[in-house]
Amino acid sequence: MSERPRPLVAGNWKMNGLRPSVDVLRGIASGVSAELRDRADLLVCPPATLVHEFADAARGSAVKIGGQDCHAKGAGAYTGDISAEMLADAGAQFVIVGHSERRQYHHESDADVHAKALAARRAGLVAIVCVGETREEREAGKVLEVVSAQLRGSVPKDSTAAELVVAYEPVWAIGTGLTPTVGDVAEVHALIRAELGKILGPAEQNQVRILYGGSVKPANAVELLRVPDVDGALVGGASLAAADFLGIASAYTS
């Protein structure tokens, strides 16, 4: 069996944070132990207004900076949008695409997410492609069907593990304090790994990092991050506090 990918713990700050919030980032960066630096990658995705300042503050540390969304085009008459090239220019190395909040509130389709993943590649960014089911889809027994369809529609077929991360976030678990069982997480992550083999081929299948997201916190991090095919976490609210974010990441040193 192939060696597991290097873990990634990513923080999605969503629409939170002002300039003084750079102190939280500095707290995260200064709290990374030598052991944690050796065992996992850490990423913080602040609002676009803070990407440049956070990238400057994180320079030389173990923490990478990413964006939360990008437009599919590199430039143009798209008022209020931000291109992947702009994020890269500001110092980002990653970008989240297809988060459930974008799919829900901005009505983004799998095709939209696919185009944004290609844009990330074009700009030299790693795309974190998000997938996940709603409560209604889970109750209808459609979890695997929904996640498979999202993957097939959202992940570019010629992606490599160096430019792609997949994040599984059950929509009903985001910000609710609810989490699926360990067995449920294992089932979906195994499905994602198998689907990646069909989409990308066996050479990339086992090297793409698959993150779990949805009410991840220090109290459940060890249990969740030890599930097979879970290669890290996409953390929401808990990433806004340095102690909580580091508490989750420290699961890789326990």
CB 89 within 8 A of CB 55: no
How many domains, in total, are found in the chain? 1
> Which of 85, 101, 133, 169 is an active site residue?
169
Of 103, 132, 98, 134, nearest to 117 by C-alpha is 98
Tell me whether residue 1 is in a domain.
Answer: no
Tell me whether residue 3 is in a domain.
Answer: no
Six-digit token pair at 24? 């939280």
Tell me whether residue 2 is in a domain.
Answer: no
Q: In terms of residue numbers, what domain contains 160?
A: 8-253
Beta bridge partners of 97: 129
Is 108 catalytic? The answer is no
Q: Spell out the per-residue pLDDT of the chain, length 254, in tens.
A: 457 899 999 999 999 999 999 999 999 999 999 999 999 999 999 999 999 999 999 999 999 999 999 999 999 999 999 999 999 999 999 999 999 999 999 999 999 999 999 999 999 999 999 999 999 999 999 999 999 999 999 999 999 999 999 999 999 888 888 889 999 999 999 999 999 999 999 999 999 999 999 999 999 999 999 999 999 999 999 999 999 999 999 999 98
Report d(CA 233, CA 220) in Å as an integer.
11
Tell me whether residue 196 is in a domain.
Answer: yes
Report d(CA 121, CA 113) in Å as an integer.
13
- Own/partner contacts of 156-159, CB < 8 Å, gap of 24 or more, are 156/114, 156/117, 156/118, 156/121, 157/199, 157/200, 158/200, 159/117, 159/121, 159/127, 159/199, 159/200, 159/204, 159/208
pLDDT at 2: 56
pLDDT at 1: 43
Tell me whether residue 194 is in a domain.
Answer: yes
The residues near 123 (Cβ < 8 Å, ≥ 6 apart) are: 70, 74, 83, 84, 85, 87, 88
User: At 51, which CATH number?
Assistant: 3.20.20.70
Is 52 catalytic? The answer is no
CA 46 to chain centroid, in Å, comes to 12
CB 125 within 8 A of CB 92: yes
Distance separating the N- and C-terminal Cα atoms of the chain: 24
> Which of 71, 99, 114, 189 is an active site residue?
99
Tell me whether residue 89 is in a domain.
Answer: yes
Tell me whether residue 67 is in a domain.
Answer: yes
Give me the phi and psi of 245, to 5 degrees please.
-65, -45
Report d(CA 132, CA 151) in Å as an integer.
10
Q: How many CA atoms within 13 Å lie on the side-chain side of 223?
A: 13
Please give the radius of gyration of the chain, using alpha carbons only, rounded to the nearest integer.
17
Count CB neighbours of 177 within 10 A.
9
Q: What count of residues does the chain have?
A: 254
